[in-house]
A and B are shown apart, each in its own frame.
Chain A
Amino acid sequence: MPVDIDIHYVARLARLALSDDELARYGRQLEGILEHAALVQSLATDGVEPTSHPLSMTNAFRPDEITPSLDRDEVLSQAPETQDGYFRVPRILEES
């Protein structure tokens, strides 16, 4: 089954800033892999329920108790940029 991928769109969804050359190469490779992966469509699956997880578990509850969390300074020491005890990122909202 031929597979048609809008690789620019997929890379945008995945937040990957790739060059046109890279996108073309990944696009070709993905088409090859997906043609093989289309084998999953060859088995009869009418009426078969999907399995998303090997364990048939329901909710795992625990008591709602306050326990010590990670040390803030130790956590922030690994961040690229911090300010006043917070992670700092580039501007998200425009000033009005």
Chain B
Amino acid sequence: MNDPADLTIGAAGAALRGGELTASELLEAVLKRASMTEAHLHSYLTIDREGAVEAAAAADSALRKGDDLGPLHGIPIALKDNMVTRGIETTCSSKILAGYKPPYDATVVERMRQGGAVVVGKTNLDEFAMGSSTENSAYGPTRNPWNTDRVPGGSSGGSTAAVAVGSALAALGSDTGGSIRQPASLCGVVGMKPTYGLVSRYGLIAFASSLDQIGPMTRTVSDAVDVLGVMAGHDPKDATSYRGDLPDFGSGLDGGVEGLRIGVASELSGEGIDTPVVDAFRRTCDALAEAGAKVTELSLPSFEAALSAYYLIAPAECSANLARFDGVRYGLRKEAETVEDMMAATRAEGFGPEVIRRILLGTYALSAGYYDAFYGQAQKVRTLILEDFARAYSEVDVVVSPTSPTTAFEVGARTDDPLSMYLSDLCTIPSNLAGHPAVSVPIGLDEGLPIGFQVMAPALGEQVMFQVAAAVERMAAFDARAPLATSEIS
């Protein structure tokens, strides 16, 4: 057998059940991969070796007794460090939460454990998930495993880098404006944002509550279906949690695309997108048409203003959510004479520049006299985007685009220009504003760097979205192994 760290969830599960592999051996392989790659990548903030070894032993013992907890039983996974884990340091990559050991587990963490998954550790992110490169971490950046001079994307860059090199078989990320899909695209893995409400946000440290959604990052589309299946479902602890029945997300994986109607989003596949990315995207669209899909161009005119609307709505919500970091109940405190001075000093010291920038931006956009011109207007654009999507889905089953306008950019290239960084999210933001599901699938390389293909679907359209994504995956036949995972590292 190959190195177990290179297995998909599906293959590892079969080996575990066939008695060819134990969860403890699988974990050891993954930890060994982490020890080889971490010095170059920095994808983890915390590795919980002790807890993971214990969980793997428990998974083995349960399986021996015939107690099978499902597709993630014995599978080593990583968690983005904005999901709280009881007793395990959770910092959100911020100094303001250094040393914080939460008194409870997020619902997704509980569900992972109940599903037999082995939590390896907590992954690096842009502070409070604000960023597109994982450079805004108070604990240092994560590097791209395809080329360590490049960024892994963000904000879930630690999670994607870990999956790309096999220091986890899957990871959970969170996606507010593309923070799962954009890094998945830049690291050559599958990353999926579910329909808003499908996965509980309880215990996800909030950034923008009407946009945030937790989702899977995996090596294959089928693995993403398995992880989503374990996470999804109603949670009384999240008032926005979906209450209806869940579809069988993976029932269309082998269905192909014959007869399906696929819309190409004109606004997201021309101007502002690098030529090699557009070319690879167009070739995949042609292949889908050859396979029997009806591929048409669609215009969604309000998408032109989606980025602007997002960079008002997300900061506005963040400025409210991050008010809770005030030096009273947890984390950092800077002493001062009065309570207000203590709070202001704590926050200025504890937050990094991008977080401060967005809090200021959101505070301004919500302040008296400017509310209607900025925040109110952005909310109306959000309505127009929903209407454009609704028109599109009256004609097609899915909408497709490139995931990221570029492949991975160089470390430091955009850190001094917030606006150029924000443009990384051009193609991913509309799905967040609409609350719709979307997935990125790797389709090829340009100069050794991965390119991602995005499939968007209407609310609760995961089934058809995964069906198209699986077809794209088969056509691309992408070998999802980053060089850092396989080569001897000097």
* Beta-carbon contact of B384 and A48 below 8 Å: yes
* Beta-carbon contact of B380 and A50 below 8 Å: yes
Is A75's CB within 8 Å of the partner chain B? yes
Is B312's CB within 8 Å of the partner chain A? yes
Is B297's CB within 8 Å of the partner chain A? no
Q: Which B residues are CB-close (under 8 A) to A57?
A: 240
Distance of B36 from chain A, by nearest CB (Å):
34
Is B330's CB within 8 Å of the partner chain A? yes
* Beta-carbon contact of A87 and B347 below 8 Å: no
* Beta-carbon contact of A80 and B382 below 8 Å: no
* Beta-carbon contact of A34 and B380 below 8 Å: no
State in angstroms the CA–CA spacing of A53 and B432 once bound together: 10
Chain A-chain B contacts (Cβ-Cβ < 8 Å), number: 170
Q: Which B residues are CB-close (under 8 A) to A66?
A: none
Among B136-144, B178-186, B301-309, the stretch in contact with A: B301-309
Of A5, A39, A54, A60, the contact of B364 (CB 8 Å cutoff): A5
State in angstroms the CA–CA spacing of A17 and B360 once bound together: 12
* Beta-carbon contact of B210 and A60 below 8 Å: no
Q: Which A residues are CB-close (under 8 A) to B335?
A: 90
Is B378's CB within 8 Å of the partner chain A? yes
Is B146's CB within 8 Å of the partner chain A? no
* Beta-carbon contact of A91 and B377 below 8 Å: no
Residue of B nearest to A62 (CB): B236
| Chain B 232-256: CB-based contact to A (< 8 A → 1; otherwise 0) | 0000100111110000000000000
Give 4 A-B pairs besides A10-B360, A15-B326 with Cβ atoms closer than 8 angstroms: A10-B367, A14-B347, A30-B361, A50-B379
- Looking at A7, A33, A52, A89, which has the most chain B CB atoms within 10 Å of its CB? A33
* Beta-carbon contact of B343 and A15 below 8 Å: yes
Distance of B314 from chain A, by nearest CB (Å):
11
Among B96-104, B168-176, B445-453, B480-488, the stretch in contact with A: B96-104
| Chain A 33-54: CB-based contact to B (< 8 A → 1; otherwise 0) | 1101111111101001111111
State in angstroms the CA–CA spacing of A92 and B343 once bound together: 12
State in angstroms the CA–CA spacing of A65 and B246 once bound together: 27
* Beta-carbon contact of B103 and A54 below 8 Å: no
* Beta-carbon contact of B357 and A29 below 8 Å: yes
Is B39's CB within 8 Å of the partner chain A? no
* Beta-carbon contact of B377 and A45 below 8 Å: yes
Q: Which B residues are CB-close (under 8 A) to A29?
A: 357, 418
**Chain A contacts with B in 69-86, Cβ cutoff 8 A:** 70-71, 74-75, 77-81
Q: Which A residues are CB-close (under 8 A) to B475?
A: none
* Beta-carbon contact of B434 and A54 below 8 Å: yes
Of B196, B243, B357, B380, the contact of A30 (CB 8 Å cutoff): B357
Residue of B nearest to A43 (CB): B305
State in angstroms the CA–CA spacing of A50 and B374 once bound together: 12
| Chain B 334-362: CB-based contact to A (< 8 A → 1; otherwise 0) | 01111111111101100100001101110
Q: Which A residues are CB-close (under 8 A) to B419?
A: 32-33, 36
Residue of A nearest to B344 (CB): A17
Q: With A55-B196, A90-B342 in contact, is A40–B378 under 8 Å at CB?
A: yes
Q: Which A residues are CB-close (under 8 A) to B386?
A: 51, 54
A-B contact pairs, 22 of them (CB 8 A): A10-B360, A10-B367, A16-B347, A16-B356, A17-B347, A26-B357, A26-B360, A37-B312, A37-B374, A38-B308, A40-B378, A40-B380, A43-B302, A45-B384, A49-B380, A50-B379, A54-B386, A54-B435, A54-B459, A79-B328, A89-B342, A90-B341
